[in-house]
Structures are given as C-alpha cells and as structure tokens.
Chains A and B, each alone.
Chain A
C-alpha cells in the first residue's frame, strides 16, 4: 500500500529559478495493483516516483509505504528501504556498460551480505523472470534497447521487491518491444507486485491489468 499525502516538491526554493514540480499531490495505491501515472513531460511523474522510492525528499507532505513514513527516513535507512522494497526501472535503464548482464543484475545484492550461491540463485531467478537469462554473459553495451530494459527489470526484481516503479518504460522501445513489455505486466500481476508506471505512451490503454490511471498536469493530479 502506498499513500501520498499533500506532497509538495519545490526545486530551488526562494531562488529566482524556483520551480514547483509537485503541488499538493495526494493519492492512494492499494497493494498488488498496477497503476498508471499519466502526463506529459514535466508534469511531475518522475519526481513523484523518485520521492515514492525515497531517492528524493519532498519539500513537505508525507509518503507512507507499507506503514512506513519513508519521506522521514534518514539517508541510511532510506537506502535500506530502497534496496529491500523498491525495484526501480529508469527511463534510460542506468546499467553499467562495463559489466555483463549477470553482474549488472547482481549489483543490488552486493550490500545484502549473501553467500555466492545465494546471489547466483537470485540473479538467475530474476533473469528468468525477465526472460533475459540467455544473455547473462553478454556485456550490456552489446544489447538492444528491449534487452537492456529486460536487464533493468531483472535488476529491479532481484531483491524480490514488492513495489516496482517504471519511469517511461516504453520511451526507448520500438512498438514490438513495447508490446512485449505489456505482456510482462501480466507476469507482475501474477507475482503480486505493486506497480507504478509513469508514462505518456497511449499503448498502455491496450492492457487489461491496469487498475487505475492517475493523470498529472503541472505537478498536480487532475
């Protein structure tokens, strides 16, 4: 369950270039549902995702994830929360080009103090879920956009996070790969994940697993 209460995010506050990215945003996302956050570029979708994932602190307001006030968490605990509960797939994937697929997916597990065998089992499982296991030894620089996205999804799944956040997941994909992504959503539904997708792509209207579409404009929910 994700609850956002009266959230504001103002960049460069009290400066000439002050910009309000989020203005009094309140929303409620039930557990195990897939929700679409829709809006044009600059409407505040990515900022909202980054605050829900505790990558950023709000200017004011509260974010409660599974009963925890995550906007109030000190940095150390915020990192732990992110590592354990959030799987984040960035618009440009943020993969490490100098590492192969296996090692990219492994990175969130480094801090978890697991044995080599446990790490291997988790990575292989995540790669299988994201249908990219066959490329595990490839360097990510050699992969296509769709494959890179699958690696990023595997990395998001590897810690068994219950909440998956996608920032413009189809922005860098062709139509065929975008449709493949839609079919992945059904898998997430089966895996009982809570999913938030920030997008302006109308392709998601074809999916029948979307629980709710939240529209955003100029930092507000409309």
Chain B
C-alpha cells in the first residue's frame, strides 16, 4: 500500500495539509449548525452574543481553510508534476493525472472547489462590511455545500494517490494529443477557426464586462474558458514548447518553460472567475460588484497578451510560424 508515491515528501505534505484543513472545517461545521439554528441578530440575549462571538471565530477558520485550499491548487499541480519522475511513462503531470480513473475527476473537482471557495470569500468580505451580518446564513449554507465537495475531494485524493501504479506504463501528453497533422479539435474546428473564436470571445468578454452585463459575461466566459483551453493546448502551447507536436496543458508548468503555465492558467482562471462571480453574486447576495467586471477584463487581457506574445516573439526570432 505504501508505495513510492505515498512516501514522496510532496505527497505527504499535500495529504497532511488536506487532512488538517478538513479537520478545521469539521470543527467549523459543528458551530455552523449551532449558528444557523439559533441565529437571531435582533436578540440581545446571551445566546445571540455567544453566537456573534463564535461566528467571528468560525468565519476566521473557514476563511483560513479556504484560502489555504486555493493556495494548495498550484501545489497539487507541482506535486503531480514531480511524480512524473517516478511514474513510468509519465513525462509531466498529464501522465500522472491519467494514471488512474480518479485523477481527472479530482482535478475537475478541485477547480470547482477553488471557484466556490473564492465566491465564499467575496460573500464573506461583503458581509463583514455591513454592521448586521446580512449574508451570514447565505455564506454558512454555502459553506456546508463547499464542505460536502471538500469531503468528496478528500476521498478522491486518498483514492487517487493510493491507486497510482508504478508497475503500469501511463499515457502521457505526446500520446494523448496525437501527432502533427491529426486534428483532435471538436465540432469540426481547425486551428484558424479556433483562433478566430478565441479572439472573438475575448472581445465579447471585454464588451460584456464594460457594459456590466452579468448574464452575458457569465455565458461568454464559460465558452471562452473552453475555447481558451483548446487554443492553448492546440496552438499557443506549441509556441511555448517551440514544438508543433507538443500539445500538453501541463508541461508548461515545468521549470524548462519558466513555470509559465502557473501564470497562464491562473490568469485564465481569475479572468473567468471574476466574470462568473458577477453573475453568481448578483444571484446569491443581490449585489452588483463593479470591481468583478474590471478584474475580469484585466486578468483575461493578461492571459490573451501572454498567449499572443509567445507567438509574436517566436515569429520575430525565427521569421516563421510553427
């Protein structure tokens, strides 16, 4: 059971951190039930004062746990990337993540959890700005939902790391994404159409955010996320690797590529997150936060600029496109 994967320092640190965070959130959850059951802001009875005091501590614990969980995402990417040194056939995180059935599901769940954690943090900060805890019940119910996902994530974490076989060869990026000439894009798209869609949705994204159309921005960004992912893997990534056959979303996280993947993917996540959060927050707390539109434009623009710069710089250096 304790193979080399579970004995690697990175995995131990990661799993211990996840365990500590889960324990913290379990503690918080007990108090959350008490607060939800007995909260009455207008009361001046001892129970309410105790709950107000407790809520301060509970929010601090939840805030801390959620912030650390967000920080653990790039660390998770780093952990699985490092495991490629011991998993046979793996050249980067792509091979390690597909080493068993749990990997991709776990990664997808983690992205959702980071998104929900970030929404919770925004709701919490809005609640703290007010004098009468207007969103306390919303954020506590929302935390219960996040906790449910965190519990599943923890189980998947354990299943994933305990089921990485070191005896079987895994498929990695060069095999997953095929060789030059083979079109792996969906809906009959080719690279040119994909790039047109990429810049078109970026412009739509800017327009929707400038005009503060929350629903439009939400829809456009969901599509942009998918188009941007495909564009990076199929086109821009090849300029990062300077190799037309290298189509991998993970290798760019490695030192050889100056860890640019961390910056690139986090800019895309933040850009899309802020756009989606405008809509979600409007629905959740009936409040429009102007800064979410602004940040979405900023982060998405940085993302598009980085992608475009790689192509431009390559062309300037070599005089040709890949």
Q: How many Å lie between the Cα of A57 and that of B53 in the bound state?
A: 9
CB-CB under 8 A for A74 and B44, given A57-B49, A60-B49: no
B286: CB under 8 A from chain A? Answer: no
User: Interface size for chain B: under 10, 10 to 19, 20 to 34, or 35 or more residues?
Assistant: 10 to 19
Which residues of chain A in 38-97 are interfacial with respect to chain B, using CB atoms and an 8 Å cutoff? Answer: 57-62, 71-77
Minimum CB distance partner of B53 in chain A: A57
User: Interface size for chain A: under 10, 10 to 19, 20 to 34, or 35 or more residues?
Assistant: 10 to 19
Contact with B along A150-175 (1 / 0, CB 8 A): 00000000000000000000000000
Q: How many Å lie between the Cα of A5 and that of B43 in the bound state?
A: 13
B46: CB under 8 A from chain A? Answer: yes
Chain B residues positioned under 8 Å from A59 (CB to CB): 46, 49
Which residues of chain B in 98-140 are interfacial with respect to chain A, using CB atoms and an 8 Å cutoff? Answer: 128, 131-133
Main secondary structure of the interface of A (DSSP, over half): mixed
CB-CB under 8 A for A57 and B46, given A72-B41, A73-B131: no
B30: CB under 8 A from chain A? Answer: no
Q: Which residue of A6, A58, A61, A76 is within 8 Å of B128 (Cβ)?
A: A76
B45: CB under 8 A from chain A? Answer: yes
Chain B residues positioned under 8 Å from A58 (CB to CB): 44, 49
Q: How many Å lie between the Cα of A59 and that of B49 in the bound state?
A: 7
| Contact between chains at A75 and B56 (CB < 8 Å) | yes
CB-CB under 8 A for A61 and B44, given A72-B52, A74-B56: yes
| Contact between chains at B49 and A74 (CB < 8 Å) | no
| Contact between chains at A74 and B128 (CB < 8 Å) | yes
Q: Which of B41, B46, B131 has the most CB of A within 10 A?
A: B131
Q: How many Å lie between the Cα of A82 and that of B144 in the bound state?
A: 35
| Contact between chains at B133 and A74 (CB < 8 Å) | yes
Chain A residues positioned under 8 Å from B45 (CB to CB): 60
Minimum CB distance partner of A10 in chain B: B46
CB distance from A69 to the nearest CB of B (A): 8
Contact with A along B10-53 (1 / 0, CB 8 A): 00000000000000000000000000000001001110010011
Q: How many Å lie between the Cα of A105 and that of B261 in the bound state?
A: 51
Minimum CB distance partner of A6 in chain B: B44
Which residues of chain A in 187-213 are interfacial with respect to chain B, using CB atoms and an 8 Å cutoff? Answer: none
CB distance from B217 to the nearest CB of A (A): 31
| Contact between chains at B46 and A74 (CB < 8 Å) | no
| Contact between chains at A62 and B44 (CB < 8 Å) | yes
Q: Which residue of B44, B53, B131, B133 is within 8 Å of A60 (Cβ)?
A: B44
| Contact between chains at A71 and B56 (CB < 8 Å) | no
Q: How many Å lie between the Cα of A77 and that of B44 in the bound state?
A: 18
Q: Which of B45, B46, B53, B128 has the most CB of A within 10 A?
A: B46
Contact with A along B47-81 (1 / 0, CB 8 A): 00100110010000000000000000000000000
CB distance from A24 to the nearest CB of B (A): 12
| Contact between chains at B49 and A77 (CB < 8 Å) | no
Chain A residues positioned under 8 Å from B128 (CB to CB): 74, 76
Q: How many Å lie between the Cα of A199 and that of B245 in the bound state?
A: 84
Minimum CB distance partner of B46 in chain A: A60
Chain B residues positioned under 8 Å from A62 (CB to CB): 44
CB distance from A38 to the nearest CB of B (A): 26
Chain A residues positioned under 8 Å from B131 (CB to CB): 72-74, 77
Minimum CB distance partner of A8 in chain B: B46
Task: List 27 A-B pairs, Cβ < 8 Å.
Answer: A5-B44, A6-B44, A8-B46, A57-B49, A57-B52, A57-B53, A58-B44, A58-B49, A59-B46, A59-B49, A60-B44, A60-B45, A60-B46, A60-B49, A61-B44, A62-B44, A71-B44, A71-B49, A72-B41, A72-B44, A72-B52, A72-B132, A73-B131, A74-B52, A74-B56, A74-B128, A77-B131
List 19 additional A-B contacts (Cβ < 8 Å) besides A13-B46, A72-B132, A74-B128.
A5-B44, A8-B46, A57-B52, A58-B44, A59-B49, A60-B45, A60-B49, A61-B44, A71-B44, A71-B49, A72-B44, A72-B52, A72-B131, A73-B131, A74-B52, A74-B56, A74-B131, A74-B133, A76-B128
- Chain A residues within CB distance 8 Å of chain B: 5-6, 8, 13, 57-62, 71-77
Q: Which 8 A-B pairs have the closest CB atoms?
A: A62-B44, A60-B46, A77-B131, A59-B46, A60-B45, A61-B44, A57-B49, A60-B44
